[in-house]
Amino acid sequence: MKIEVLYFAWVRERIGEPRETVETEAATVLELVKELKAREERYDLAFSDLKSLRVALDQELSEFDAPLAGVCEVAFFPPMTGG
């Protein structure tokens, strides 16, 4: 399946691009992270500490063990600082 993967703030800076289309068979967010980390060092660096990251599935805050079935858009970012 094809998934749009978005990066924000320092995650975007570490990876070097704001979004990309990823071809994956990952069943969960964690599996997708594992695949990305294995690709290149910049991904490994961006995902080195999952506790400092948040994930949204189709624009809704979610968890790293959530399933990816039916998901079109995954976004990774640090804790939000709005307001």
Partner 1 sequence: MRITVQSDDFDLAEALREFGKAPNTGATVSFTGLVRDDTCTLEYMEIEHYPGMCEAAIAKIAEEAVQRWSLTDCLVIHRYGQLRPGDQIMMVATAARHRAEAFEAAEFFMDYLKSRAPFWKKEVTRDGADWVAAKDADEDALKRW
CA dist., res. 78 & res. 65, Å (int):
17
Q: Identify which range of 24-32, 34-42, 43-51, 72-80 contacts partner 1 by CB under 8 A.
A: 72-80
CA dist., res. 44 & res. 29, Å (int):
15
Residue 16 beta carbon to partner 1: minimum distance, rounded to whole angstroms: 15
Among 1, 10, 16, 48, binds partner 1 (CB under 8 A): 10
CA dist., res. 11 & res. 25, Å (int):
23
Q: Which residues bind partner 1 (CB under 8 A)?
A: 6, 8-10, 12, 56, 59-61, 75, 77-83
